Amino acid sequence: MERKDFIKYSTLFTGAMFAGGISHASGIGLPLIKTIYPLAITMWDFSWLERRWPGAGYEDWDNALDELIERGYNAVRIDAYPHLVAENPGKTWTLNEVWNVQDWGSPDVIQVQIQPQLNQFIAKCRDRGIKVGLSTWFRRDEDMTLLKIDTSAKMAEIWIQTLDSIAKDQLLDSILYVDLCNEWPGDIWCPFFKNDPPELTWGYWHTAKSMRFMKESIELVRAAYPELPLCYSFSGGEPSLYGEKDLSFFNLIEHHCWIAQLNKNEYSKAVGYNYERFSPEGYKNLVKNSERVYLENQEYWHKLLRDEIKTIANAARKANQPLITTECWGIVDFKDWPGLNWNIVKEMCAVGVMAATETNQWVAIATSNFAGPQFVGMWRDVEWHQKMTGIIRKAPISEELKKCQIINRL
């Protein structure tokens, strides 16, 4: 077969190759071909379970997942609520709200049951070929069950019990990786961990105490489930440290990156956004200032993001670690709101997607933190999502990463 005919023949199998699958030209003398590309991933956090009232976006999982597929995504990161599964998986839990101004999760007290809903959701993902990244934001129930996580061994225990419950239904093959805690050691998500010194929270994963806690917990989970890639996810801090600190006990680095937080929160400070959780003042300032601040120095913000992405990729390359990013690339907090539109968010995020794919270091890339049905203005732009996910799912992956454990799960 001539080369041009081989290329033509190969295009018949782009469906499998597009998802990092296998093309097998059986019967005509061609070898087995496996082409691996990054996954297009999105963050559905705790919204997948909590936002199920009429109009909240996830009341019909089949519809939401079908729309996810339509937009080109083939992976999703969700909260597995491991501390609640370990305590009592079938209990109806009363959870307090994290905030009332954001559209992730519930803006008010809500009642949820984790199992069997967690496994039912994973099964629906499996049926559609969607990989699932497990994480946790350690949602706070009335009794503050999360405060029982007083040791690294307890952290490992709750995750092992959660994975046991998933394995029981033979769903482990659908799990892409496990992030033991979102944005460790941010105090909103893991108040049970006190760093040394205790004021070192967001971005300070690299203290001796934090490194010891992460290493011990990961090694215990790995002993029970050696086939699963494991990590803690990070936000903020200095990403160059990935190449300097020993993270060899990780299987990947999940780093969250936004223009809004770069150069010591320069963009957010210029806008006047201070991450208010129970006040509308932050959104009033977004309405007043976000577009102006962006458009007045557009190329500067783009360069800041591109440079940061290169720094992250170079540090991960030095550490011989693949990257996943599920929260990114422009503004951290945004929503459908009077005076706000999604145009600048989509533009910022397109810059980030392009820059990340050019590094060859990412194995799963998000388009933003807003690729979910509750963000109606963003979600309805199907063409934009398809364009971005198409770029992600055709990007090369560095040959040096092909031996990493997570590659086998793409």
Domain boundaries, the chain: 1-35, 38-409
The answer to whether 38 and 44 have CB atoms below 8 angstroms apart is no
Q: Is the pLDDT of residue 368 over 60?
A: yes
pLDDT value of position 21? 44
Asked whether the predicted pLDDT for residue 141 surpasses 90, the reply is: yes
Question: By percentage, how much of the chain surpasses pLDDT 70?
Answer: 92
Question: Which pLDDT score is estimated for 406?
Answer: 98
137 and 189 in contact (C-beta within 8 Å)?
yes
Cβ contacts of residue 146 below 8 Å, gap of 6+?
83, 138, 139, 140, 190, 191, 192
Task: Give the type of residue at 126.
Answer: R
Query: Which structure tokens are listed for 64?
Result: 């939401």
Q: Which letter does DSSP use for residue 242 in this model?
A: G
pLDDT tens for each residue of 184-232: 999 999 999 999 999 999 999 999 999 999 999 999 999 999 999 999 9
Give the pLDDT of residue 34: 67
**Degrees to nearest 5, angle at CA 221 with 216 and 223:** 95
With 70 as the cut, is the pLDDT of residue 253 above it? Answer: yes
Tell whether the model's pLDDT for residue 5 goes beyond 70.
no
CB 73, CB 371: distance < 8 Å:
yes
Q: What is the pLDDT of residue 191?
A: 97
Tell which residue, 45, 116, 50, has the closest CA to residue 85: 116
pLDDT in tens, 23-34: 333 344 444 456
**Lookup: tokens for 187:** 């105090």
Per the prediction, the chain carries an average pLDDT of: 93
**Predicted local confidence at residue 33, as pLDDT:** 52
**Joined tokens for residue 221:** 């989970």
**Cα–Cα dist 306/330, whole Å:** 11
pLDDT above 50: residue 98: yes
pLDDT tens per residue, range 99-139? 999 999 999 999 999 999 999 999 999 999 999 999 999 99
The predicted structure's pLDDT at residue 26 = 36
Q: How far apart are CA 353 and CA 357, in angstroms?
A: 6
CATH T-level assignment (fold) for domain 38-409? TIM Barrel (3.20.20)
